[in-house]
Structure 1
Amino acid sequence: MKPTFNFTRRQWLASAFGFLVSSIAAPLAAQIKIRRIQTQYIAALAPEGATSGTGAETWGLWKVDPGPIGVWLRFYQALQKAGNIAPAGWRFDIDDWWLDENGLIMKAPEFPILAGQYYVTNGEENISLLTIEKPDAEGKQSWSLTDDKTIGDVTHGPCRSARYTPEGESGSCSPKYANRSAFPLKPGEAPPLVSGCNRKSYAVLIVFGLPMAG
């Protein structure tokens, strides 16, 4: 991973709380209580312009930044030789794998994301309280954002997160078919298609806090 990538993703963390306080209107800031947590990341599937919707049962959560513990595409053969166990200890799944914007194979997020409330941000000027409801009788989960924020508003723009699964039989979708020259992706550029694979692109939301009780 390039040093600039690590720095950029973490640069905002040092001033996150100060940024939060200064960017929320004083009357509102006096009313909300936020418990800061170690930064987490949500992988969300939703229309960019939506402020609420359903389908949160398809969303995942990275409790730690998957970038620094990822494996470069060029080291995929070494990952295979290691029994599909990454140096950081997570297991690679040939039938369900993820790429970031730099060409790193990432650990998959945890599915499904738990129902609850999460303070999310795009890492810049936008903040919202994301509510994910409990599953209904069919297992569907609704979600909503506060302050008229959309998924696009709270998506961390520099991040890309693509999930690859086989179009056909098991093992037919492999990182070895990914075009390494496509990385790093340019701003707004979609992750590449990979031969033999279905691709889903997820928005990445930064979670920096949870509501405090009382």
Structure 2
Amino acid sequence: MRVPLTLLTIAATLQQSNSLSLSNVSQQGTRRAALTTIQSAIASAVLLTPKTALANEEQPQPAVQPSSTPKFQRYPQLRFIAALGDPNASSGTGANTWGLWKDDPGPRGVYLRDYQERLVKRGGVAPAGWTFQNNDWWLEEHGLIMYNPEPLPSKKYSKSMGQILPYKRYVVTGDREVTTVLTVFEDGRWELQKGNLYDVTHLPCRSARYTPTADNN
């Protein structure tokens, strides 16, 4: 079984700070979770609040060396990042497998008990408009089938440099003690400015990603 956690992220926008939250991902049976194992890793779903943002550096920096004083732009609503990593780690690889929910996937979900009526009989299209994917789907611990996150952006355009930078930054927090900056790189690397993944993980509402094994069982 693989159990990810939920991260809460906060990003600053010029004069303001932004917030995000991550949700846990777990794996059961012969299905594989998208992110790591229960003892050695956590998959985190980050929720970005209207205050969350992406870095918008103004001073030229080497492509692989993010500025230490980035500026952030607000997102219009809460967002979640589905991520994977050792809960005790402050850096690692694999961010190229992380995902992003641009809104809270819970309210748009379908309970398992309603699977036949609200998904199968509707041709796999949920009442909220998203399409269920048989070979790749997400389940929240309270029984909600959720729509799939999109790939997490890991690069951005710098107006001042006139080029695309191979990294992107998010302000993250577990809404407990630690608030810090998460940097994800285009090559899959990630790092936290301080603390570890557990520190910036929002603990409730774990979820699991289900995909078939090699023999499709």
The two structures share one fold, judged by TM-score above 0.5: yes
Instruction: Report whether the alignment pairs 1:143 with 2:190.
Output: yes
Instruction: Judge conservation of contact 2:19–2:171 (CA < 8 Å) in 1.
Output: no
- Secondary structure at the residue paired with 2:180? strand
- Residues 19-34 of structure 1 mapped to structure 2, 5 A cutoff: 33-34=71-72
| Structure 2 CA distance for partners of 1:152 and 1:81, relative to 1, 3 Å | same
Instruction: Report whether the alignment pairs 1:166 with 2:216.
Output: no
Instruction: Judge conservation of contact 2:96–2:186 (CA < 8 Å) in 1.
Output: no
Which residue pairs with 2:182 in the alignment? 130
Instruction: Judge conservation of contact 1:56–1:113 (CA < 8 Å) in 2.
Output: no
Q: Structure 2: give runs of 5+ residues left out of the alignment.
A: 1-15, 21-68, 156-167
Which residue pairs with 1:199 in the alignment? none
Instruction: Judge conservation of contact 1:99–1:163 (CA < 8 Å) in 2.
Output: yes
- Secondary structure at the residue paired with 1:39? coil
1:168 Cα deviation from its structure 2 partner: 5.5
**Which residue identity lines up with residue 116 of structure 2 in the other structure?**
Q
Residue identity over aligned pairs, in percent, reads 51
Which residue pairs with 2:105 in the alignment? 66
| Structure 2 CA distance for partners of 1:96 and 1:32, relative to 1, 3 Å | closer
Q: Structure 1: give runs of 5+ residues left out of the alignment.
A: 1-15, 21-30, 136-140, 171-195, 197-214
Count residues with an aligned counterpart. Answer: 141
TM-score (norm 2): 0.58
1:142 Cα deviation from its structure 2 partner: 0.5
- Secondary structure at the residue paired with 1:166? coil
1:32 Cα deviation from its structure 2 partner: 7.0
Pick the aligned partner of 1:42 from 81, 84, 107.
81
- Residues 65-214 of structure 1 mapped to structure 2, 5 A cutoff: 65-78=104-117, 79-115=119-155, 116-135=168-187, 141-146=188-193, 148-167=194-213, 196=217
More helix by share: 1
**How many angstroms apart in 2 are the aligned matches of 1:17 and 1:158?**
23
More strand by share: 2
| Structure 2 CA distance for partners of 1:48 and 1:74, relative to 1, 3 Å | same
Instruction: Judge conservation of contact 1:97–1:106 (CA < 8 Å) in 2.
Output: yes
CA RMSD of aligned residues (A): 2.6
**How many angstroms apart in 2 are the aligned matches of 1:18 and 1:39?**
10
**Which residue identity lines up with residue 48 of structure 1 in the other structure?**
P
